[in-house]
């Protein structure tokens, strides 16, 4: 068989959830060194490079081949800067394939430029829909999927969403959840973490909270409602809140640090809400695994809690990951304190939703993604993209 040149494959990442998703795909792709030439492009969407390095080291991701240093900004401004820089790089480097992950602005920017330059495009975590277009991520998902040639899905509902939107079935691949590949790879190491000792926590004796979506943290009344619910819960058990820098800034701006008994240290008898710094992946995974329950507005944490079998209350009006509700441990409770308290008290009294791990959330998703890229003839380009494993 004639040997083709190594396919220059650009993997575009920009924020912490992307790091968790790219790690196993990059590892699997490197098993085919005579076929792929993977190039990791970090846009720097949310973190400066020094902060990103902590996550890269924790997940054993090599330093990016290209770092753009875009930084934060309004959606249009940030996405525009990403597109301008990626276009320069794509024109210079001429990639054979572009992979984008999830639903952040780096995902959208990479997708648009790849499509305009007629470069085959793969979207990892395609087809998820909240059906709420007030969410910037929803716009990113819809556009990225419309432009993609390979749509790798995590659950059956995503396949149905894509077909309803007119995506050809031969572009859709149900492969499972690549985030769970990373979770399964690091779970045993997470169990060895000393994070509980560092924050004076007892196993199954605390609630874990994350909050970062603008629809929650940018509205003072919504933040107050959530914090009132958390304060009530904290009279029953510790409430541990690894706080996003932007969320912390908003809490300070609203004057809530003293109003809601928010502290920066914990003990077994702590009352109130305890803010701690953002944690490394393995330490945060340990906090998830050992929690009594998780309260979050993060999509990825809804999935991780389902995989771990930990009760999860989603502080939103909807979810783009419905399988975490229909099959997993997740309940969407909104942001009203009464409902947050009610569902938390049910869990603490032993009324716990018995979830299951969804199909193909088995730690093998990255293998299925790479095998698909090796064997599939693209419907749009009709070129035999890759050879068998070298």
Provide the annotated active-site residues.
212
Cα–chain center distance at 78: 19
The CA-to-CA distance between both ends of the chain, in Å, stands at 12
The secondary structure of 42-108 as a DSSP string is E--SSS-HHHHHHHHHHTTPPPPSEE-------HHHHHHHHHHHHHHHHHHH--SEEEEETTSHHHH
Strand order, beta sheet including 262-263: 262-263, 273-276, 238-242, 206-210, 293-296, 312-314, 330-332
Cα–chain center distance at 124: 11
Task: Count how many residues are written for the chain.
Answer: 390
256 phi/psi in degrees, rounded to 5? -95, -5
Rounded Cα–Cα distance for residues 295 and 326 (Å) = 18
387 CB burial (10 A radius; 0-12, 13-18, 19+): middle
Rounded Cα–Cα distance for residues 24 and 303 (Å) = 17
Nearest to 2 by CA among 387, 320, 390: 387
Query: Which residues touch 84 (CB under 8 Å, ≥6 apart)?
Result: none
| Structural tokens at position 162 | 């894509």
Q: Strand, helix or coil at 320?
A: coil
- DSSP element (H, E) containing 354: none
Instruction: Count other Cβ atoms within 10 Å, centred on residue 126.
Output: 28
Query: Which residues touch 118 (CB under 8 Å, ≥6 apart)?
Result: none
């Amino acid at each position: 068989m004639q040997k083709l040149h190594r396919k220059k494959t650009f993997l575009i990442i920009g924020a912490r959830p992307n790091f968790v998703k790219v790690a196993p795909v990059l590892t699997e792709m490197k098993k085919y060194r005579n076929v792929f030439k993977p190039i990791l492009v970090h846009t720097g969407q949310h973190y400066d490079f020094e902060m990103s390095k902590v996550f890269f080291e924790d997940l054993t991701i090599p330093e990016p081949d290209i770092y753009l240093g875009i930084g934060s900004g309004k959606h249009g401004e940030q996405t525009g800067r990403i597109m301008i820089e990626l276009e320069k790089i794509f024109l210079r480097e001429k990639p054979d394939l572009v992979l984008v992950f999830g639903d952040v602005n780096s995902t959208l920017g990479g997708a648009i430029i790849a499509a305009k330059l007629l470069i085959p495009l793969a979207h990892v975590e395609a087809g998820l829909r909240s059906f709420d277009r007030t969410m910037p991520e929803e716009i990113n998902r819809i556009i990225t999927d419309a432009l993609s040639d390979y749509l790798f899905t995590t659950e059956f509902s995503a396949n149905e969403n894509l077909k309803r939107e007119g995506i050809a079935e031969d572009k859709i691949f149900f492969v499972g959840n690549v985030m769970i590949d990373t979770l399964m790879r690091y779970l045993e190491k997470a169990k060895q973490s000393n994070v509980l000792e560092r924050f004076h926590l007892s196993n199954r004796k605390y609630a874990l909270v994350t909050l970062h979506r603008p629809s929650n943290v940018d509205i003072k009344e919504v933040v107050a409602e959530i914090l009132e619910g958390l304060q009530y819960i904290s009279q029953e058990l510790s409430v541990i809140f690894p706080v996003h820098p932007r969320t912390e800034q908003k809490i300070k701006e609203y004057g809530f640090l003293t109003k809601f008994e928010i502290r920066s240290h914990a003990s077994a008898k702590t009352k109130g809400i305890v803010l701690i710094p953002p944690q490394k992946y393995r330490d945060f995974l340990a906090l998830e695994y050992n929690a009594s329950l998780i309260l979050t507005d993060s999509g990825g944490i809804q999935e991780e809690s389902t995989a771990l079998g930990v009760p999860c209350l989603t502080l939103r009006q909807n979810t783009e990951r419905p399988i975490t509700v229909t099959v997993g441990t997740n309940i969407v409770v909104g942001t009203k304190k009464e409902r947050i308290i009610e569902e938390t008290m049910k869990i603490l009294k032993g009324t716990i939703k018995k979830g299951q791990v969804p199909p193909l959330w088995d730690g093998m998703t990255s293998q299925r993604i790479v095998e698909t890229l090796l064997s599939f003839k693209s419907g749009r380009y009709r070129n035999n993209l890759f050879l068998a494993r070298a």
